[in-house]
Amino acid sequence: MSRPFIQSRPEIETEASETVLNMGPQHPSTHGVLRVVLKLDGEIVTDLDCDMGYLHRGAEKIFENRLYPMIPPYFDRLDYIAAVSNGLLYVETVEKAMNLEIPPRAQYLRVILTELNRLSSHLLWLATHALDIGAFTVFLWSFREREEILKIFEDFFGARLTCHAFRIGGMSYDAYPEFKSAVMALMDIFPKRLEEYETMLNENRIWLSRTVGVGIISGADAIDLGLTGPPLRASGVDFDVRKAHPYECYADLKFDIPLGDSGDTFDRYLVRMEEMRQSRRIIIQALEKLPDGPVMAKVAKVIKPPAGEIYHSVESPKGELGLFLVSDGTTKPVRLRMRPACFVNLQSLKKMAVGSLVADVVAIIGSLDIVLGEIDR
């Protein structure tokens, strides 16, 4: 009986003792519609191949046919877990191309919202990563704080997931009156909640045996593969766009970049947990320093960046998110090309996972924190 769409890929040659396991696109722990074709010897992975594109919507092509102010909603739907960071990337790139000066209040608000988004993204990562390894309770606990953050988002943006209030030149509106106290209240309880997760995981023997030494990637390999974000920093490479090329008001804020040393799954976990603490630090500083004033710069009614090419990148929760803009001086971009963080990070899966067991593949995919909306675009 011929049913080609579920047959294994013909190009994968197998030895007698090997089997091909088709993981995804419908699988509980490939975080969406990623398809991983694994070549297994028993349960040991001897080779793997990622098949992407099940969520391809042609976003980059759509951009070319939209006016500049029409594009932000598309960005919310790329990395839908970190919509704010994606939106920030787009408006900043256009602002950079147009050489716009953003009012300080808008800058601080943007940083607060982006860092809140980093918290919610990392919490969702923690939830799903823990669930992949079987810690069911951490999964649901993480949603508690994420829910609080999403409530703030709902009050601010009117949306919980695909939220954007950033406009080219600033923000479309100012924060709602209780914004500051709501965020502060959340930040007060946050460290205690983080400690709760760490009690569940940090000294849990099973958690340690599932993550320590699993999916190791060295710093040199990580650089070669173009890894960015927490996976890169877990391998001990000190690179964070917020420090390396500060944008918005990050230069005025004090925060540390947590680094790992062994580059295994546990280090990636630790780095992200520490990043949440640092994000909280940033948010509190920014809230305290939050200046008064307008939130929108003077921008022309019709947005026409001058002709030329420009690259800009921000540190999204997943890694360095870059955007390459080619403009011909008209109202539509000629080309908008993403440097997706998850897509590049996912390329390291083969390096990390070959030689380990099926269960490790799941743990490694979880530790890379991928979002298929951004990978497939």
Q: Do residues 229 and 341 touch, judged by C-beta distance below 8 A?
A: yes
- Report if residue 7 touches other proteins, rule: CB under 8 A: no
- Report if residue 354 touches other proteins, rule: CB under 8 A: no
Nearer to other proteins, 49 or 221 (CB): 49
Nearer to other proteins, 23 or 183 (CB): 23
- Report if residue 136 touches other proteins, rule: CB under 8 A: yes
3-class DSSP state of 334:
coil
In the region spanning residues 10 to 29, those forming contacts with other proteins, defined by CB under 8 A, are 19, 21-22, 27-29
Minimum distance from residue 173 beta carbon to other proteins (Å): 34
* Cα-trace Rg, the chain: 21
- Which residue matches tokens 């699993």? 214
In the region spanning residues 23 to 62, those forming contacts with other proteins, defined by CB under 8 A, are 27-29, 43
In the region spanning residues 204 to 263, those forming contacts with other proteins, defined by CB under 8 A, are 204, 206-207, 209-210
Terminal C-alpha separation, the chain = 35
Selected from 9, 56, 61, 144, the binder of other proteins by CB under 8 A is 144
Nearer to other proteins, 18 or 60 (CB): 18
Q: What is the largest CA-CA distance in the chain?
A: 71
Amino acid in the structure at residue 226: G
Minimum distance from residue 145 beta carbon to other proteins (Å): 11
3-class DSSP state of 2:
coil
Nearer to other proteins, 109 or 135 (CB): 135
Q: Do residues 91 and 303 touch, judged by C-beta distance below 8 A?
A: no
Nearer to other proteins, 209 or 330 (CB): 209
Instruction: Single out the segment in contact with other proteins by CB under 8 A; choices: 247-255, 320-328, 333-341, 359-367.
Output: 359-367
Q: Do residues 289 and 108 touch, judged by C-beta distance below 8 A?
A: yes
- Which residue matches tokens 């022309």? 300
Nearer to other proteins, 107 or 356 (CB): 356
| Contacts (Cβ under 8 Å, ≥6 apart) of 250 | 111, 242, 243, 282
3-class DSSP state of 62:
helix
Selected from 200, 212, 257, 326, the binder of other proteins by CB under 8 A is 200
CB atoms within 10 A of CB 75: 27
- Report if residue 202 touches other proteins, rule: CB under 8 A: no
Q: What angle do CA 339, 342, 344 make, to 5 degrees?
A: 60
- Report if residue 338 touches other proteins, rule: CB under 8 A: no
- Report if residue 151 touches other proteins, rule: CB under 8 A: no
Task: Locate 103 and state its tokens.
Answer: 């009012």
Applying CB under 8 A, which residues contact other proteins? 1, 19, 21-22, 27-29, 43, 130-137, 139-141, 144, 200-201, 204, 206-207, 209-210, 357-360, 362
